[in-house]
Amino acid sequence: RRAESRRVRRRRFALTAGVATVVAVAAVAWQVAAVPGAAPTGTAATGTAGPVTRGTPQDTLLLVRHPSSPGPATGVTLLAAGPGPDDATVLFVPAGMLVDIPGAGQQPLGEAFARGGAALAQAVTEDALGIEIDHAASIDEPGLGAFLGRSGGLALTVPGALAATVDGSSVERFAAGEQFLDGTRLAEYWAFRQAAEDELATFPRQQLVLSAFLRAAADEAVRDRLVGDGAPQLSTAADGAWLDAVLGRLGDAARRGSLDFVQLPVERLDGGPDGAAYRARRDGVVALRSGALAASVPRGGVAGVVRIEVLNGVGTPGVGAEVGRLLGGEQFRVVRTDNADGFGVGETRIVVHDDAERSIEVAEQVRRRLGVGTIQVSDRPDRAVDLTIVVGADFDPVPDPSGDTETEQAA
């Protein structure tokens, strides 16, 4: 299978220490939190999917919603289809969840999108959950309306009236009861937040829309309208055939009543863009890794895409793009570029975040492609990237493949 071989190519060469701890306690019995509110008819919302056989195919897509103007993501949803025909999960991940962003420390997940697009949002989500995700797709608010509209519109039963405040007055936006909504209105309901509501309050609304949408997507003709042309509303590396297959599997599960809607268990903290920030609960992550997402847990070894952070230590514009061009191929992916602490770096450093033999081998490959670089081993393994390149003055976009390398322990 194409999706399975893609997953094999993308195995990370290292798990963070935190994820390793999660694996060690994966036997903890804990029930994943279901999305609050009644589930639509025929759709499970218990979030209690039991353990599945590891190593079997599971296709995963991270959907990242963002405003039309540049800024943080406003919504993050993981769609997981497989391994079995009745194994299907929609996981709502708060955009306000704190994650480790390379070079920025603990920041909301939505900020990862602002700094590095969907690729960085995917990388830090993988790191936070200890799984691998096949593809990420980003879409802005108008694009979401256009994409949902391709379904032809959907009938929803809205559980309660929703009002917005306009010029100090309350204006009803959605009446309670059954109603037919076009794409624009579906997108509005999806993201609607009343005064004083936090991000978590929107998840039952997203569930209502997604449940109806995925049931409709079980129809081949509907899927052809959605993704037959590659779905230009979505910014993604996934092709139309893969998207069609994933939507079909999720749609079939939705119609059979075996689609689980799950909210990632989090602890609410103070602060954040909406007045709240969240921290993922370890027991909730354990339950997902040993249950619904077990088939997406990496098995170890460098067999896939290596996530790379490029830090510009010389001040020359476009260094990150040049590094990406020289690395090329499917094995390496630059997920973030930023400035180093200063622009006086003389010698390029290639920093790996563990001292495993295979990690050093990968760093050697990078050094050969760049033509320069001293390999260092960081003493801080808990990163959302596999390898960091600090570009120095010795970097030449047309590298000399000769030269020796040395390996040292980073201070």
pLDDT digits (tens, 9 = 90+) for 178-237: 999 999 999 999 999 998 899 999 999 999 999 999 999 999 999 999 999 999 999 999
Residue 408: CB atoms within 10 Å? 10
Q: Is 284 helix (H, G, I), strand (E, B) or coil?
A: helix
Measure the CA–CA gap between 95 and 143, rounded to whole angstroms: 19
Average pLDDT score over residue span 25-52: 38
Contact 349, 389 (CB under 8 A): yes
Task: Provide mean pLDDT across the span 116-134.
Answer: 91
**What pTM was computed for the model?**
0.67
Q: What is the pLDDT of residue 253?
A: 97
Q: Burial letters for 223-262: b for 16+ Cβ neighbours within 10 Å, e otherwise?
A: bebbbeeebebbbbebebebbbbbbbbbbbbbbeebbbbb
22-296 and 306-409: identical CATH topology: no
Of the chain, the end-to-end C-alpha distance in Å amounts to 44
- Examine the pLDDT at 400 and tell me if it is beyond 80: no
**Which of the 8 DSSP states describes residue 251?**
H
Which carries the bigger pLDDT value, residue 173 or residue 43?
173
Whether the pLDDT of residue 397 is over 70: the answer is yes
Mean pLDDT of 288-309: 77
CATH topology of domain 22-296: Aminopeptidase (3.40.630)
H-helix or E-strand containing 2?
A: helix 2-9
Give residue limits of the domains in the chain.
22-296, 306-409
Determine the pLDDT at residue 128: 87
> What CATH class does 306-409 carry?
alpha beta
pLDDT at 319 over 60: yes
What is the pLDDT at residue 34?
Answer: 55
